[in-house]
Structure 1
Amino acid sequence: MSATQQNVGLFPVSYRIGTGLPGAQSLLLNLLVSTPQHEVSGGATVTQATNPPLDIHSDVWGEYTYLTVMKPGVSKILITAEGNHGGHGSNSIINFKIRLVVGTDWKEGVANYQYLNGTHWVEVNNVPVHLAEVQSKVFPPFEPGPVIIHHNPPILPLYAAPIQSAIASGDLAQMKNLAKLAKQQLDQQPQLQSALEAAKKEISRLQAR
């Protein structure tokens, strides 16, 4: 795969974060990963079966970096993010922070996170991270669109950015972010349109036989 292909990508990933023990806190983290900018955005939900039940939602944004070590060490990916109600650029106070370390396959890891519960911060440290099925309510099925390439993605590549979802939710910050990513994606793949036209011509030629 070429260097250009490695730097172009947009894919969703979803994590279940917690011990899984009865009554323990659970964090569901849904992220859209942009490989050109090494940025992430999405949503986080902290829940716990208490009385009253704990249920805290946050719009999340942040970045990721590769923690590369010399052999025979194992390289990791560090994701750092924070969240609030309304997303990046809103006037809402920060109510969520997370540092998440996963393998280079994006599948397993460990996390430390904090959330604002009323007037005080609660810290949860060294909890297991497991890749989960991408939540369809956050990233619904898409119509065909620009082909997005990612080097060793944890799931199948997408064929369109989830702009429809952002429009439906009315999330202005998310719409702006996705519009920027989509434009960058198209700018980085000028050959896509010509390839599509060539494919259409070949389809027509074969169908005419």
Structure 2
Amino acid sequence: MSASNPQAEGLFPLSYRIGNSQPGAPTLILNLLVYTPELSVRGTSSITPPVDLHSDVWGQYTYLTVMDPTSSKILITAQGNQGGPGSNSIITFKIHLVVGDDWQQGIANYQYYNGHSWVSVNNVPAHLQESVHSSSYSQPQASGRSNHPLPPISALYAAPIHGAIASGDLAQMKSLHQLATQQLEQLPLIRTALDAAKAEINKHERR
């Protein structure tokens, strides 16, 4: 796709499943809302087992260009606690996640506090969950590099909205309100389309 495509910026949600298939190994679910004007992320994390740790998460992301200018990575750096950055809670979660510039998958190193000490989990795979393909593009970078495609778009979830409210961030609250309103306005059309799909499925199954 070329840089002449319509440009977009704003908010989009991501949900990563981070972990491997080894018995007893921890699984991290990282739900983030990416805010492109500030290159920031906000959301929640959940780690199980051997703990059951849930955190409010916030941080930043940046593009990492390697030898080939057309091949770059994205580094997401975030931390978490109970209540978000405006609370007095201690930090209980830290993560460095490197993904491709399509945001689909990558490798994570993270730490969590189990109540007694910090536990490190290194070099575990991360995979984007429940996505619907999108071809929109992000804003051009200051260095003049080619535009980076936005990730696949999934449904807006409630956690970032509550996080923005708790933080008192007016800009994010306004942006989230606008995005959520647009999705809600689409519900009648979605329901109509689902009814049509259901009728078509029934018709084919009767054959």
TM-score bin (small chain): 0.5 to 0.7
Using structure 2 for the length normalisation, give the TM-score: 0.67
CA distance in 1, matches of 2:171, 2:121: 29
Structure 1 window deviating more from structure 2 (87-96 vs 69-78): it is: 69-78
Partner of 1:195: none
Amino acid at match of 1:46: I
Per mean C-alpha deviation after superposition, the further-off stretch among 125-134 and 9-18 is 125-134
Equivalent position of 2:7 in the other structure = 5
3-state secondary structure, aligned to 1:36 = helix
Contact 2:33 / 2:160 at 8 angstroms: preserved in 1? no
- Note closer, same or farther for the CA distance 1:172–1:2 as it changes in structure 2 (3 Å cut): farther
Over the aligned positions, Cα root-mean-square deviation in angstroms equals 3.2
Structure 1 letter corresponding to 2:34: V
Write the deviation string for residues 108-166 of structure 1: whole angstroms up to 9, x where unpaired: 100000001012100000001111127xxxxxxxxxxxxxx6532222377xx767973
Deviates more, 1:111-120 or 1:170-179: 170-179
Q: Does 1:47 find its partner at 2:41?
A: no
CA distance 1:17–1:164, shift in 2 (3 Å): closer
In 2, Cα distance between equivalents of 1:164 and 1:30: 8
Q: Which amino acid aligns with 1:126?
A: N
Shift of 1:14: 0.4
Q: Contact between 2:104 and 2:127, CA under 8 Å: does it hold in 1?
A: yes
Please list the CA deviations of residues 47-81 of structure 1 after superposition, one character each: whole Å capped at 9, or x if unmatched: 01x4xxx2000000000000012327731000000
Shift of 1:20: 2.2
- Equivalent of residue 179 in structure 1, options 149, 173, 185: 173
Question: 5+ residue gaps in structure 1?
Answer: 135-148, 187-209
Q: Would the aligned equivalents of 2:78 and 2:95 in 1 still touch at CA under 8 Å? A: yes
Secondary structure of residue in 2 paired with 1:5 = coil
1:156 counterpart residue number: 153
8 Å CA contact retained: 1:9, 1:150: no
Over 3 Å counting, the alpha-carbon distance change for 1:47 and 1:91 in structure 2 is: same
| Unaligned 5+ runs, structure 2 | 139-148, 180-207
Q: Is the partner of 2:45 in helix, strand or coil?
A: strand
Does the 8 A contact of 1:110 with 1:127 survive in 2? yes
SS of aligned partner of 2:86: coil
1:29 counterpart residue number: 30
Shift of 1:45: 0.4
After superposition, the Cα gap between the structure-2 partners of 1:55 and 1:171, relative to the gap in structure 1 and judged at 3 Å, is farther
Which of 90, 94, 99 is the matching residue for 1:93? 90
Any residues of structure 2 matched to 1:45-194 within 5 Å, and which? 45-48=46-49, 50=50, 54-71=51-68, 74-133=71-130, 150-151=137-138, 152-156=149-153, 166=161, 171-173=165-167, 176=170, 178-179=172-173, 181=175
Q: What's the CA shift string for 1:157-200, capped at 9, x where partnerless?
A: 77xx7679735x895217646226559x99xxxxxxxxxxxxxx
For 2:40, give the aligned amino acid.
Answer: E
**Contact 2:130–2:154 at 8 Å: present in 1 too?**
no
Contact map agreement 1:102 1:110 (CA 8 A) in 2: yes
Give the Cα separation in 2 of the matches to 1:21 and 1:100.
20
